[in-house]
């Protein structure tokens, strides 16, 4: 699902200053102090079986939902398409340019709209002992978010969360400069119960903005939400119930898509997908594997997930601190979700998705800001958690090797202190579905031609969900890995395995062109090639060799099957780097 893979979060990061460090140190000290002070309160919820008195407060939502007329725009989460022209149309287009979300439409949809019921009907029958469940602080960081998407998030939390469970909503403004987020926002929020607004004094980036919010939180559980969400009925109880049962569980809601253009809520009650990653360390979504279905006792049991998307999750505050909260060496959003996922699993926790907890999230049209700095985050994750498997990542992203990623000494010390398991354990136990490349020396990297100098195998599928079926071409070798990365395996496959699922070079019957198909458990005959000692690439099934040739149209070069000769245009070799 491209929309979900393109998952982005709101605030951006800026460069970290010495000042920020000082603030952080002070905050961490405060966190430590607060957690000591709170130990007494925390102890009660952790001991089931003791008699306890019902808490004061109500099981009803913090705020009742005001009635919204049935015929109001998008009143039940349905798609809205405004018929606009002239000035109005311009304003709508402008809002999309600015936010990558149609905020012009959002401003015309009620902040209190209802969502259609899109959970498994069994969820409705679940009973909770509200007096036993821990309380939560909902932390929402934002940077220059549009008014209506932000406010709808806040109202949605207040109008769906039981009063007895919601300690507070903490909004963290990561130094926004838009006018509507200044006085006007403070004023609007001051009229709402349980809502606190915290302002950063400078741009912190989302990781540190969230930590700022977490450090002030009074609830037992931290629930992080993105700043353009809408909560489905009953979203909170399952998360808190699970953490009540198992303090080391980090639990994500099902993230339902809200369309960036029509604001249609596209949740569905079917089985949710779980998180994975590919060897570029890009987050991916997958169907629940059979082994996990066997483990689950019912369709509404939690689903274990190797990784999380990052924006939405609940975690015991104590356990979050034990795990080392966030890696504050990360400046921007991106890659931190994989780092946290590895850390949770390798250090003894579990990462789960609860099928009964649904939260809608507006996935923007495209990332509203550059992803460049997220590279350092991925490198930090690889350096601290992946052991020798980090090489598989570097092979596919050679430029990551030279990316400055700061100091990870403390994070490695944390790993040692918590006696975390190694990455091999993670791959074998938590994510056995992920194919681990062999990357034998001399058999991966750019697949370069000898006769046509400087040209390499190149495969550029039009999009992530349209990965197979296209032709392999030859293009000038660029040494950046990615779409020019291939691996020759001991199964005689030429794998295009920077992405998930893994793809393999194949020859379609009756043609002489090379295309890319999904790899299979055992390499099918049309995917078998023998890389001979003299550099010839022999296709076993057809008995022909791969040759570099100019295309019929004359506008480029392609590898084609031809009768074997001794031509240098039929000689190939792997190279890791350009120079």
H helix or E strand, kind and range, residue 513: none
| Strand boundaries in 305-362, DSSP class E | 313-316, 350-362
Closer of 226 and 278 to Mn ion (Cβ): 226
CB of 95 to Mn ion, least distance (A): 16
Report d(CA 258, CA 145) in Å as an integer. Answer: 16
The residue number whose beta carbon is nearest to Mn ion equals: 226
Report d(CA 281, CA 337) in Å as an integer. Answer: 10
- Beta-bridge mates of residue 475: 456
CB of 273 to Mn ion, least distance (A): 17
Fill in the per-residue mask, 183 to 222: x = in contact with Mn ion (CB under 5 A), - = not in contact: ----------------------------------------
Asked if residue 526 binds Mn ion (CB under 5 A), the reply is no
Closer of 9 and 304 to Mn ion (Cβ): 9
Report d(CA 129, CA 251) in Å as an integer. Answer: 19
Closer of 9 and 539 to Mn ion (Cβ): 9
Asked if residue 256 binds Mn ion (CB under 5 A), the reply is no
- In order, the DSSP letters of 89-136 are HHHHHHHHHHHSS-HHHHTTS-TT------S-GGGGG----TTTSPPE
Closer of 243 and 258 to Mn ion (Cβ): 258
- Are 311 and 7 in contact by the 8 Å Cβ rule? The answer is yes
Closer of 254 and 447 to Mn ion (Cβ): 254
CB of 101 to Mn ion, least distance (A): 9
- Output the CA torsion sign for 511, 516, 518, 522: positive
CB of 361 to Mn ion, least distance (A): 6
CB of 139 to Mn ion, least distance (A): 14
CB of 364 to Mn ion, least distance (A): 7
Token pair of 227, please?
């700043």
Burial of 246 (0-12, 13-18, 19+ CB in 10 A): middle
Residue of 283, 288, 279 lying closest to 363 (CA atoms): 283
Report d(CA 333, CA 328) in Å as an integer. Answer: 11
CB of 211 to Mn ion, least distance (A): 18
Closer of 335 and 437 to Mn ion (Cβ): 335
Closer of 257 and 296 to Mn ion (Cβ): 257
Asked if residue 145 binds Mn ion (CB under 5 A), the reply is no
Token pair of 172, please?
């963290």
- Are 296 and 113 in contact by the 8 Å Cβ rule? The answer is no
Using CB under 5 A as the binding rule, the residues of this chain from 46 to 65 that contact Mn ion are none
Closer of 9 and 114 to Mn ion (Cβ): 9
Report d(CA 543, CA 563) in Å as an integer. Answer: 8
Asked if residue 339 binds Mn ion (CB under 5 A), the reply is no
| Interface segment toward Mn ion; rule CB under 5 A; list 1-9, 205-213, 266-274, 374-382 | 1-9
Report d(CA 321, CA 35) in Å as an integer. Answer: 9
Closer of 9 and 571 to Mn ion (Cβ): 9
Fill in the per-residue mask, 5 to 44: x = in contact with Mn ion (CB under 5 A), - = not in contact: ----x-----------------------------------
Residue 437: how many other CB atoms lie within 10 Å:
20
Closer of 361 and 390 to Mn ion (Cβ): 361
| Interface segment toward Mn ion; rule CB under 5 A; list 3-11, 167-175, 472-480, 534-542 | 3-11
CB of 309 to Mn ion, least distance (A): 10
Report d(CA 456, CA 559) in Å as an integer. Answer: 9
Using CB under 5 A as the binding rule, the residues of this chain from 215 to 254 that contact Mn ion are 226
Angstrom CA distances, 148 to 152, 194, 229, 247, 455, stand at: 6, 19, 11, 35, 51
- Total residues interacting with Mn ion, rule: CB under 5 A: 2
Closer of 360 and 445 to Mn ion (Cβ): 360
CB of 145 to Mn ion, least distance (A): 9
3-state class of 71 per DSSP?
Answer: coil
Asked if residue 336 binds Mn ion (CB under 5 A), the reply is no
CB of 367 to Mn ion, least distance (A): 10
CA 444 to chain centre: 28
Asked if residue 167 binds Mn ion (CB under 5 A), the reply is no
CB of 226 to Mn ion, least distance (A): 4
- Output the CA torsion sign for 427, 302, 337, 398: positive
Q: Residues in the site for Mn ion, rule: CB under 5 A? A: 9, 226
């Amino acid at each position: 699902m491209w929309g979900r893979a393109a998952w982005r979060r709101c605030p951006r990061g800026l460069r970290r200053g010495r000042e920020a460090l000082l603030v952080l140190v002070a905050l961490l000290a405060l966190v430590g102090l607060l957690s000591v002070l709170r130990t007494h309160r925390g102890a009660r919820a952790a001991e089931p079986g003791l008699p306890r008195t019902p808490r004061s407060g109500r099981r009803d939502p913090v705020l009742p939902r005001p009635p919204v007329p049935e015929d109001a725009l998008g009143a039940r989460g349905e798609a809205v398409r405004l018929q606009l022209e002239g000035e109005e149309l311009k304003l709508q287009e402008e809002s999309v340019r600015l936010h990558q979300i149609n905020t012009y439409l959002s401003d015309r949809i009620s902040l209190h709209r209802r969502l259609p019921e899109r959970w498994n009907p069994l969820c409705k029958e679940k009973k909770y002992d509200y007096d036993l469940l821990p309380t939560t602080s909902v932390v929402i960081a934002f940077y220059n978010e549009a008014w209506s998407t932000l406010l709808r998030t806040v109202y949605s939390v207040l109008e769906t969360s039981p009063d007895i469970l919601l300690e507070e909503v903490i909004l963290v403004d990561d130094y926004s400069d838009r006018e509507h987020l200044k006085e006007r926002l403070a004023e609007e929020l001051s009229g709402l119960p349980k809502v606190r607004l915290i302002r950063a004094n400078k741009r912190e980036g989302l990781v540190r903005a969230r930590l700022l919010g977490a450090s002030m939180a009074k609830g037992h559980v931290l629930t992080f939400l993105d700043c353009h969400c809408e909560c489905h009925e009953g979203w909170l109880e399952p998360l808190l119930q699970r953490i009540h049962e198992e303090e080391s569980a980090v639990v994500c809601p099902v993230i339902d898509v809200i369309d960036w253009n029509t604001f249609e809520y596209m949740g569905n009650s079917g089985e949710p997908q779980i998180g994975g990653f590919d060897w570029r360390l890009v987050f991916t979504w997958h169907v629940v594997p059979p082994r996990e279905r066997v483990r689950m006792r019912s369709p509404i049991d939690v689903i274990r997930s190797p990784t999380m998307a990052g924006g939405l999750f609940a975690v015991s505050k104590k356990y979050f601190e034990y795990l080392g909260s966030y890696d504050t060496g990360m400046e921007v959003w991106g890659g931190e979700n994989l780092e946290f996922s590895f850390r949770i699993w390798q250090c003894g926790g579990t990462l789960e998705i609860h099928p009964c907890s649904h939260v809608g999230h507006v996935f923007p049209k495209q990332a509203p800001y550059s992803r460049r700095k997220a590279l350092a985050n991925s490198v930090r994750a690889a350096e601290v958690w992946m052991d020798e498997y980090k090489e598989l990542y570097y092979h596919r992203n050679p430029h990551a090797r030279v990316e400055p990623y700061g100091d990870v000494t403390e994070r490695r010390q944390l790993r040692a202190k918590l006696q975390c398991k190694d990455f091999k354990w993670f791959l074998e136990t938590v994510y056995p579905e992920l194919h681990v490349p062999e990357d034998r020396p001399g058999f991966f990297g750019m697949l370069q031609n000898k006769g046509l100098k400087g040209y390499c195998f190149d495969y550029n599928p039009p999009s992530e969900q349209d990965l197979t079926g296209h032709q392999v071409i030859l293009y000038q070798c660029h040494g950046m890995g990615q779409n020019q990365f291939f691996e020759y395996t001991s199964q005689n496959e030429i794998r295009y395995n920077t992405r998930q699922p893994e793809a393999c070079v194949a020859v379609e019957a009756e043609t002489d062109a090379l295309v890319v198909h999904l790899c299979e458990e055992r390499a099918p005959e049309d995917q078998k090639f023998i890389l001979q000692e003299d550099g010839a690439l022999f296709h076993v099934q057809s008995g022909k060799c791969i040759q570099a040739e100019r295309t019929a149209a004359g506008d480029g070069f392609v590898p084609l099957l031809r009768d074997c000769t001794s031509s240098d245009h039929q000689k190939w070799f792997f190279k890791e780097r350009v120079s």
